[in-house]
Amino acid sequence: MIRGLVIREARAEDAAAIRSLLDAAFGGDGEGRLVERLRAEGDVVLELVATHEGELVGELLFSRLRVAGDDGAFDAVALAPLAVIPGSQRTGIGRALVEHAHPVLQARGERLSIVLGEPEYYARFGYSRDRATGFDSDYQGDYLQALAWGEAPASGRLVYAPAFAAL
């Protein structure tokens, strides 16, 4: 982990730096457009940034996700994106962001998080493929994983924020 890393909630004045970081980390503008649209449509549940010596070096966003089932809809969150500036990847910044976010989400009453990502990476935070197999999703497959904090549905249709359809 980088000494002196600061993790805090994103602020409006971070928007341009976050966009630059996302474009650099993902090699294109898709994730940057996604984040901007999630913000504009009010679907952001939690957005964190990591800074080091005043420079923004990481970003993590959780958006509203709904699980539609026979008993109605259940609010959950979707982790996407998680990004670290090139040159600082594999230094623990991503891990620090996720580990900081989970207790915040739990304290706010969230009980289920879904991620579409590398199973080996996200397993270290408790996400599992087995926990996600009961969900119906446009993204169903080996990379769809879930993490529950307490009682949460294990099946139903995952309904992502509309911004994801534009990817």
- CATH number for the domain spanning 160: value is 3.40.630.30
CA atoms 159, 98, 124, 93: torsion sign: positive
Quick one: pLDDT at residue 47? 98
Over its C-alpha atoms, the chain yields an Rg (Å, rounded) of 15
Q: Whose CA is closest to 59, among 104, 111, 11, 21?
A: 21
Q: Give residue 62's domain range.
A: 5-166
Segment 82-98, tens digit of pLDDT: 999 999 999 999 999 99
Number of independent structural domains in the chain: 1
Q: What is the mean pLDDT of the chain?
A: 96
The C-alpha angle with vertex 103 and arms to 33 and 7, in degrees rounded to 5, equals 55
Contact indicator for 83, 10 with CB cutoff of 8 Å: no
Q: How confident is the model at residue 132 (pLDDT cuts 50, 70, 90)?
A: very high
Q: How confident is the model at residue 1 (pLDDT cuts 50, 70, 90)?
A: low
> Average pLDDT of 51-60?
96
